[in-house]
Amino acid sequence: MFNKLLVANRGEIAIRVMRACRELDVRSVAVYSDADKTSLFTKYADEAYHIGEPTPAKSYLDINKIIDVALDCGADAIHPGYGFLAENSNLGKQCEKHGIKLIGPKGSVIESMGDKITSKKLMRAADVPVIPGTDKGVSSIDEAVKIAESIGYPVIVKASAGGGGIGMRTVYEEDELVRAIESTQSVAASAFGDSTVFIEKYLEEPRHIEFQIMADEYGNTIHVADRECSIQRRHQKLIEEAPSPIMTDELREKMGAAAVKAAESIEYSNAGTVEFLYSNGDFYFLEMNTRIQVEHPITEIVTGIDLVKEQIKIASGKELCCSQEDIKVNGHAIECRINAEDPLADFAPNPGKITGYRSPGGIGVRVDSGVYMNYTIPTFYDSMISKLIVWGRNRNEAMNRMTRALSEYVILGVKTTVPFHKAMMRNPDFRAGKLQTHFVDQHQKGIMEEMEKVVAEDKEREARLKSTFLPNKKIAAISAAVGSYMSQASQNSDSKNK
């Protein structure tokens, strides 16, 4: 097992990894920017090192700084979490160069799966179903027109090197194609430094279903069941659940086998996710994420497997903890991403100071968070406050439990996505499991009206809740005392600060 592990990330995922380290008796190392000096994860770690300015390029995305800290503090492993450097093949290569173990697959695997064209070629070769489309970058407009005609409209234009739906354009007729390609190329060049685009068939109302993969360094590969992530906005996931409401034993066996085949074909090791689009009884490979996912907790809850601990164990040379036959799905789990955004203003970011905070609890409720009362959410990073996860014996109980948990959540000082999630839990089509990736757009009017009702209902409640928090002077005094105590505790645990 490792002696010391550096977490090259921030916020709730940094704390999640550090918790796994504590259970494995591995010392954890945090790195932080100027903006995160008072963040909870820097205090939770056994050691903490300053690495630069708030902008990610000058801190969390600076591979040289990350490697230097790891070498200086004697860390023998690095966990990248998700986002930032999590799917950066150069980090993997630098770790290999300096004898540091990356908690993840080899750099070459990250590179091949990070390119959408290359990954689809590899999947076709492995006989994994792939959406009809090009297997290389589009070289000219004339070629694009011919390809689109052969596939049949609508088609979708994507950036080869991209992710998160950045630059993606849907095209319904030839007149739109030229503008779509030029737009996507421009966005791709700016965001990823690579203007290569490709074209594939656009599925009108697909479901987004993914399979968690775990593989060790001895050739053992399993899937840890499925998740549905169809509730999205601009290709960003908002609500996830496990298992998918449409999943059957037969379908899980079929899709799971394809996911395992995908991982085995590239000699994958560690945790990963194979994502599929499901439409009209057929499923197609979408992409493979070579990291732990934001939504991993729902898989942990329904299977009882600590995926992050397994990641660390596998990277240290241990075999998988279980076989495919050991994987059982128990009940249903739902995750809501609670962000500092105003859902009534087109989800505009709303960073700021949290003046009141109380998280929900009770049976079947888990909150993964990195915030606290009087914490100021930085403007430099994504606005996630927490991930609220619930478990129920079935989907209906899980939805009811999520409704209850959302009603208990108190976050004052910033606007959040809690009203959106409350509205979704009331939506009859969502409750019936009639999901697809355009659900939020198609139900926008109804969701907006329901959110307005929720906000109105919460106004009186919020006014009452404000009186339950201590006066500002007392809060400031207590926060200062807690901060001083945590700082002293950090120093006593041999934490170093640069």
- Active-site residues: which are they? 291
**95: amino acid identity, one letter:** C
CA angle 399, 405, 44 (to 5 degrees): 125
Rounded Cα–Cα distance for residues 187 and 207 (Å): 26
Q: Give CA–CA dist 440/447, Å, rounded.
A: 8
User: 455 exposed, middle or buried (CB, 10 Å; 0-12, 13-18, 19+)?
Assistant: middle
Q: Interhelix angle for 107-114 vs 89-97, to 10°? A: 170
Longest dimension (CA), the chain: 69
Q: Pairing state of beta strands 77-79 and 4-7?
A: parallel
Q: Alpha helix locations (H) across 382-471?
A: 395-408, 418-426, 428-431, 439-442, 444-466
Residue 257 burial by Cβ neighbours in a 10 Å radius (0-12, 13-18, 19+): middle
How is residue 320 annotated by DSSP?
A: P
Q: List CB contacts of 494: < 8 A, sequence separation 6 or more.
A: 46, 47
Q: How far apart are CA 403 and CA 216, in angstroms?
A: 38
Bond from prior residue into 360 cis (ω within 30 degrees of 0): no
Residues counted in the chain: 498
- Tell me if 398 sits within 8 A of 391, measured CB to CB: yes
- Rounded Cα–Cα distance for residues 207 and 231 (Å): 9
Q: Give dist(CA 150, CA 144) in Å, integer.
A: 10
Start-to-end Cα distance in the chain = 27
Residue linked to tokens 């490792």? 2
Can you tell me the distance from the alpha carbon of 257 to that of 278, in angstroms, rounded to the nearest whole number?
15
Q: Is 411 strand, coil or helix?
A: strand
CA separation, residue 237 to residues 161, 164, 229, 338, 414 (Å): 19, 9, 6, 11, 21
Please check whether residue 390 is in contact with residue 405, taking contact to mean a CB–CB distance below 8 angstroms: yes
- Which residues are registered as beta bridge partners of 159? 197
- Tokens 């589009």 locate to 138
User: In angstroms, rounded to a whole number, what is the distance separating the alpha carbons of residues 417 and 337?
Assistant: 8
Closest CA to 277 of 160, 129, 152, 395: 129
